[in-house]
């Protein structure tokens, strides 16, 4: 595993949450992060032994305190990742021996807003995380939550309406019985009555395939001149022109492109 960053202020007593961590939050350490492939400087602290971007940490600690008052424990399994750590996880994924991992520089763990939380608290999180600005953005990963920089309050017009689901693909809340083809895995999901996404097209009052959801903003393929057809992001092709292998990857918010990598070609 890639080495951890040393000398990062830590929240060591979480009994009172943010109050006990005030000094660590004020003395966070600046590190190199990335957002959509672009380097950015962020400030991190350690919570539960994991690095978290300081503003995300504040929101998480508030949410953790709220959960604790009703006997729910939120376990933090992963927070901010360095470039070396993301490369390590991506290499495992590419070799077929690790979980799905974003291309280095494009993971929201590197931008500081993503957390992987223990799934034992998922019921509480699905009902309450939006109060603290967290939402589950990858339907296939029950543990992955991202902070959107907002704290919702009971009674405010911005609080998510009851019996709705948040769609990361559409970037908005949708009513129950709405079916959406997820950008993350291209699978169909239905917003169920309890506000949870269920896999499959069930009771579809409305449906949103990827082909009609701002297709210019959702890069999902690259054109291969070698194969003379489009291939999905993540596909590896050995180029006919130079015999090198290239992977179709996001190269920006609205674009994809071929990146030279060591991978198992499909041709």
CA 117 to CA 48: how far, in whole Å?
11
Contact indicator for 11, 57 with CB cutoff of 8 Å: yes
What the chain holds in terms of domains, given with CATH numbers, is 10-160 (3.30.1380.10), 166-215 (no CATH), 219-260 (2.10.70)
| Tokens representing residue 131 in the block | 């109060």
Using 50 as the pLDDT threshold, list the residues of the chain that sit under it.
1-4, 15-17, 151-162, 215-216
Contact indicator for 92, 98 with CB cutoff of 8 Å: yes
Inter-CA distances, 64 with 14, 107, 158, 196, Å:
9, 24, 21, 21
CA 211 to CA 85: how far, in whole Å?
34
CA 69 to CA 64: how far, in whole Å?
9
Q: What is the CA radius of gyration of the chain?
A: 20
Contact indicator for 143, 117 with CB cutoff of 8 Å: yes
pLDDT confidence of residue 154: 35
What pLDDT, in 10s, does the model give residues 83-123? 999 999 988 888 888 888 888 988 899 999 999 999 999 98
């Amino acid at each position: 595993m890639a080495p951890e960053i040393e000398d990062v202020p830590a929240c060591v007593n979480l009994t009172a949450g943010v109050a006990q961590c005030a000094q660590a939050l004020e003395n966070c350490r600046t590190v190199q992060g990335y957002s959509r492939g672009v380097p950015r400087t962020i400030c991190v602290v350690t919570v539960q032994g994991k690095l978290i971007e300081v503003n995300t940490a504040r929101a998480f600690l508030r949410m953790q305190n709220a959960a604790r008052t009703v006997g729910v424990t939120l376990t933090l399994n992963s927070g901010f990742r360095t470039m070396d750590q993301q490369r390590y996880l991506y290499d495992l994924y590419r070799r077929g021996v690790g979980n799905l991992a974003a291309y280095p520089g494009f993971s929201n763990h590197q931008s500081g807003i993503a957390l992987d939380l223990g799934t034992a608290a998922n019921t509480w999180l699905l009902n309450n995380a939006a109060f603290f600005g967290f939402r589950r953005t990858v339907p296939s990963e029950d543990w992955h939550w991202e902070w959107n920089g907002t704290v919702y309050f009971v009674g405010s017009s911005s609080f998510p309406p009851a019996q709705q689901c948040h769609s990361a693909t559409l970037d908005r809340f949708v009513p129950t019985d709405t079916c959406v083809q997820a950008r993350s895995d291209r699978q169909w999901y239905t917003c169920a009555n309890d506000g949870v996404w269920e896999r499959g097209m069930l009771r579809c009052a409305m449906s949103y395939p990827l082909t009609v959801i701002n297709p210019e903003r959702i890069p999902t393929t690259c054109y291969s001149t070698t194969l003379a057809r489009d291939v999905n992001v993540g596909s590896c092709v050995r180029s006919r022109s130079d015999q090198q292998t290239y992977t179709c990857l996001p190269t920006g918010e609205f674009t994809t492109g071929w990146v030279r990598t060591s991978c198992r070609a499909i041709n």
